[in-house]
Structure 1
Amino acid sequence: MFVCYSPYHRTDSGPPSGVTEADVEADMKIVAAHFTQIRTYGVDGGNQWNADKALKNGIRKMSVGVWVTPNDASATNKQIDLALSQLDAAAKKYGGFEHLDLVIGNEVDRTDVAVYAPADIRNGMAYAKQAVQKYPTLDSVYVTTCFSGTVLGPGPNAAKWQPVVDFCDERTLLTVYPWYGGADPGNIDKQMQWSWDNGLKQVQARKKQIVIAEIGWPSAGGRATSVENERINFETTKKWVNYGNPMGMQFDTYWFEMFDERWKTKEGAQGPHWGLYTGGPNPQPKFAFEG
C-alpha cells in the first residue's frame, strides 16, 4: 500500500494557503517513515517542493499529478513542463527515481468539479510523451491519467473514454471508494467486486495494469466513521489489494490520504477526516500502521 499526499493540511484554508518548503520537508519525513511511494496532485502552489523533498527523504517512486485546464492546451503543457523540470532537478540532486507515473488530470471522466473533453486529456498525454524525451535523467516515466473506477463500466462514457484508456502507458489509475458504497469497515468484498465488474475489469481487458489511485475510510463525519473503523479498514484494504481478492491479484494502491485536510468541507462532513495523520501544524498518527 502507498499513500496520497497533499501539503494543504496545516491550516483551515484551501490551496495554496501559504505552504512553505519547510512544511513539505517535514511532511515528507513523516511519509517516508511509513511508505516507499506516494501520489501527489500538482506542481505549484506549495506542490513545487514535492519531488525534491520526497527524493531527498528516500521516496524513489512517485505518481505525480498534473492539473489540466479545459480547452487550454498551452496552460496544461506549461504544467507538464513544470512537473518534468522539477523531477529532473530532483533526480540530478539525489540520484534518480526508480519509477514515475506522470498523471495528466484527476478523475477526468467526472463532471462535478470540472468538465474535460477526452481530447483535453489525450492531447496533454501526447505532449507529455514527447516532452519527457528531453530528460535523460527520467528513464522510468509512465504517462497516464486518472479516472473514476467506473469509466469503462456500463453506460455512455465507455466509448467516449476508451481511446484515452488505450493511450495510457501500460498503467491506468482508477479511484475506488467502498465507504461510499456502504461497506463494512472490515469487509469490502461486495463493493470491490461491484467495482471490478463495473469498470476495473474492463480496463484490464484493454491490456492495462490497474492502479487503485484512491481508496480510504474517513475517521469522522458520517456512516460507520471512527478512528478504529479507519484502522480496521486500512488493514482490510491492504489485505484485499495484496492478493486477498477473488481474482488473486495484487494492485498498486494509494490510500487516501496521509493527512487530514480540515479545509475540505464542501464534499461533506467526512471531507476533513480521511488522513492517517491528523492535520494542523503538529500532525499525529491516528493509529499505528505500516504501508
Structure 2
Amino acid sequence: MAKKFSSKCFIPSLAYALLHVSMLLAIVGMKGVQSIGVCYGQLGNNLPSKQEAVDLYKSKGIGSMRIYFPEPETLRALGGSNIELIMDVPVDKLQSIASDANAANDWVQNNIKNYPDVKFKYIAVGNEVSPVNGKAQYAPFVFPAMQNINKAIADAGLQIKVTTSLDTSVLGVPYPPSQGSFRGEVQQFLSPIINFLVNNGSPLLVNVYPYFSLSDPSIKLEYALFTLPSAEVTDGQLSYQNLFDAMLDAMYSALEKAGGAALEIVVSESGWPSDGGNAATIDNARTYNQNLIQHVGNGTPKRPRRPIETYIFAMFNENNKDGDETERHFGLFYPNKDPVYQINF
C-alpha cells in the first residue's frame, strides 16, 4: 500500500538531504584541496627499497607520485596501491620514439600495458626540455614523441593523458604576471605542443620553484615562503601575496598569448631545500612546503577557487644528484625514512 505523501515530513527530510549534500560537497572539495603528490626521485645509493618507498607513501596518505623513468620494481610495488602516477619518458628515449611508431608501441607495452594494476594518470614526454636550456638537443623530438606515445596509448585501448613538463625558463617576460610571455626562441617549439594539449584535453606540466628566484636580491624571502601579511605586488586588478602565484599566473598569461587559454597547469614539481645553500634551512623548507599544501586549494589570483594539482619535490634526499649542494637536500624524508621535518599532508 502506497504511503500518503505528507508535506510535514517532506520539509525536514528535504532539509536533511540538502545538509547531507552540502556536507558531501564539502568533503569532496576538501579532498581536492588536500590531494598533494610527491615526486619520487631515485638518484641515491642509500635509498629504501621501492616497496618500502611505496609503503611510506601509503602510510602518509600521499595519493599521487611522479617518477622520472619507468622502473620495473617501482611499478610492481605500485600495483594495486591506487596511487596516481605521473611517469616520464626520459630524454634518452625521445629520439627513437619520435622517429619510430613501433618504438612508441613497444615503450607503451613494456612500461604501461604490462602493469594493468598501476593507476597511470599522465605520461610526461621529457622533463624541462626546451631550446633554451641544457637539454636543447632533445627539443626537436618532444612533439613527435608526444604524438607517437599518444597514438600508442590509444591503440592499446588505454586512456592516459600525454603531456610534457617545462620549467619557467621558457618565459621571456615573467613579470608582472599579466605580461607573461614566452621567449621568442621557444615559440616555434611550444606552438604544436600547446595545440596538441588543447586538442587532447591534457594539462601542461610546469615545475615552479620560488626558491631559485631568491638569487634576485629584490625578492623578499617572506614573499617566496607565503608568509607576507599583505600583498607585495599589484598588477592591474590583481594582487599577489606570494611568488608562487605570480610565477604560475605569468605562465598562464604566456599560454593565453600563445593560443593555450584553455589549458590547465599541473605543478609537476615545487619544493625547497633544507640544506646546502642560501635560505636552505629545515625551518624554511617546512614553512614553504606546508604553506604550499595549504595554499594550492585556493587557486591563483588569475584563476581563483580552482585547486592546483601539485607535486612536491621530493620524497627523499638524493645523495647522487648532480649540481649544487642544495639539489641533494630537497627530500621530505631521509633515506632511512625518518622525516627531515614534520609536515601534514
**Fold-level similarity (TM above 0.5):** yes
Structure 1 residue 173, shift from structure 2 partner: 0.3
- Residue of 221, 227, 238 corresponding to 1:187: 227
**TM-score for both structures, normalised by structure 1:** 0.82
Structure 1 residue 159, shift from structure 2 partner: 1.8
Structure 1 residue 105, shift from structure 2 partner: 0.3
> Residue 70 of structure 1 contacts residue 117 of structure 1 at CA under 8 Å; is this kept in 2?
no
* Bigger shift: residues 166-175 or 185-194: 185-194
What residue in structure 2 maps to residue 290 of structure 1? 344
> Residue 226 of structure 2 contacts residue 242 of structure 2 at CA under 8 Å; is this kept in 1?
no
What residue in structure 2 maps to residue 200 of structure 1? 252
What residue in structure 1 maps to residue 163 of structure 2? 144
- Residue of 251, 267, 273 corresponding to 2:308: 251
- Letter aligned with residue 262 of structure 1: N
> Residue 104 of structure 2 contacts residue 148 of structure 2 at CA under 8 Å; is this kept in 1?
no
- Letter aligned with residue 55 of structure 2: K
CA separation in 2, counterparts of 1:253 and 1:49?
25
Name the CA shift for 1:85/1:240 in 2 (closer, same or farther; >3 Å). same
Structure 1 residue 241, shift from structure 2 partner: 1.3
Alignment of 1:107 with 2:162, yes or no, is: no
- Residue of 31, 51, 69 corresponding to 1:25: 51
Structure 1 residue 223, shift from structure 2 partner: 1.7
Alignment of 1:270 with 2:302, yes or no, is: no
Higher helix share: 2
| Unaligned runs of at least 5 residues, structure 1 | 12-18
| Deviations 1:51-105 (CA, angstroms, capped at 9, x unpaired) | 221233331x1111011338833588647733543322221xx3x62x5101100
Structure 1 residue 180, shift from structure 2 partner: 0.9
Structure 1 residue 172, shift from structure 2 partner: 0.6
Structure 1 residue 251, shift from structure 2 partner: 0.8
Q: 1:1-291, aligned counterparts within 5 Å? A: 1-11=36-46, 23-34=49-60, 35-43=62-70, 47-59=71-83, 61-69=84-92, 72-74=95-97, 78=103, 81-91=106-116, 94=117, 97=119, 100-109=121-130, 111-116=132-137, 118-136=139-157, 138-139=158-159, 141-151=160-170, 153-160=181-188, 161-168=190-197, 169=200, 170-182=202-214, 183-184=221-222, 185-187=225-227, 189-203=241-255, 206=260, 207-243=262-298, 245-246=300-301, 247-248=303-304, 249-264=306-321, 266-279=322-335, 282-291=336-345
**TM-score for both structures, normalised by structure 2:** 0.70
Runs of 4+ with >6 A deviation: none
Name the CA shift for 1:262/1:76 in 2 (closer, same or farther; >3 Å). farther
* Bigger shift: residues 153-162 or 186-195: 186-195
CA separation in 2, counterparts of 1:57 and 1:42?
19
Structure 1 residue 111, shift from structure 2 partner: 4.6
What residue in structure 1 maps to residue 15 of structure 2? none
Name the CA shift for 1:157/1:200 in 2 (closer, same or farther; >3 Å). farther
Q: How many residues align?
A: 269
CA separation in 1, counterparts of 2:108 and 2:333?
27
CA separation in 1, counterparts of 2:76 and 2:127?
22
What residue in structure 1 maps to residue 19 of structure 2? none
Structure 1 vs Structure 2 CA RMSD: 2.7
Structure 1 residue 179, shift from structure 2 partner: 0.6
- Letter aligned with residue 157 of structure 1: E
Name the CA shift for 1:76/1:85 in 2 (closer, same or farther; >3 Å). farther
CA separation in 1, counterparts of 2:89 and 2:111?
12
| Unaligned runs of at least 5 residues, structure 2 | 1-35, 172-180, 215-220, 229-240
